[in-house]
Amino acid sequence: KNQVEQSPQSLIILEGKNCTLQCNYTVSPFSNLRWYKQDTGRGPVSLTIMTFSENTKSNGRYTATLDADTKQSSLHITASQLSDSASYICVVSPLSGTYKYIFGTGTRLKVLA
């Protein structure tokens, strides 16, 4: 069954610190993997996208990595800011005609001053 699991479930860090969020997936065949940021009560916003041939992708303070062999991805946030407080969701698209998204459980990040 296609699944996407994330850890930790929640995380609290101090402003300015770095953190790394993990994603494991069983989706196969696999098209691409994305990280989305979701503020409370809002729709998800895309941060990064990687296809199976890409190992890393950066977007400002966000850096995503992908190991397609082990089916693992990570999202590293550097120099965290209060506005980074949100849920971070790993989303995998199977290689199918509709490219529907399979969402992970999300990691709820709280950045404290």
Partner 1 sequence: EPEVTQTPSHQVTQMGQEVILRCVPISNHLYFYWYRQILGQKVEFLVSFYNNEISEKSEIFDDQFSVERPDGSNFTLKIRSTKLEDSAMYFCASRALAGGPDTQYFGPGTRLTVL
Phi, psi of 82 (to 5 degrees): -55, -35
Which listed residue (19, 27, 32, 64) binds partner 1 by CB under 8 A? 32
- Cα torsion for 46, 84, 89, 19, to the nearest 10°? 120
Residue range at the interface with partner 1 (CB under 8 A); choices 21-29, 37-45, 56-64, 78-86: 37-45
What is the distance, to the nearest Å, from the Cα of residue 62 to the centroid of all Cα atoms in its chain? Answer: 10
Which listed residue (44, 57, 65, 77) binds partner 1 by CB under 8 A? 44
Is position 58 an interface residue for partner 1 (rule: CB under 8 A)?
no
Which listed residue (8, 26, 28, 42) binds partner 1 by CB under 8 A? 42
Which listed residue (23, 34, 77, 84) binds partner 1 by CB under 8 A? 34
Is position 25 an interface residue for partner 1 (rule: CB under 8 A)?
no
- Cα torsion for 38, 51, 64, 93, to the nearest 10°? 30
Neighbouring C-beta atoms of residue 59, cutoff 10 Å: 13
Is position 35 an interface residue for partner 1 (rule: CB under 8 A)?
no
Neighbouring C-beta atoms of residue 61, cutoff 10 Å: 13
Contact residues for partner 1, defined by CB under 8 A: 31-32, 34, 41-46, 49, 51, 89, 93, 96-106
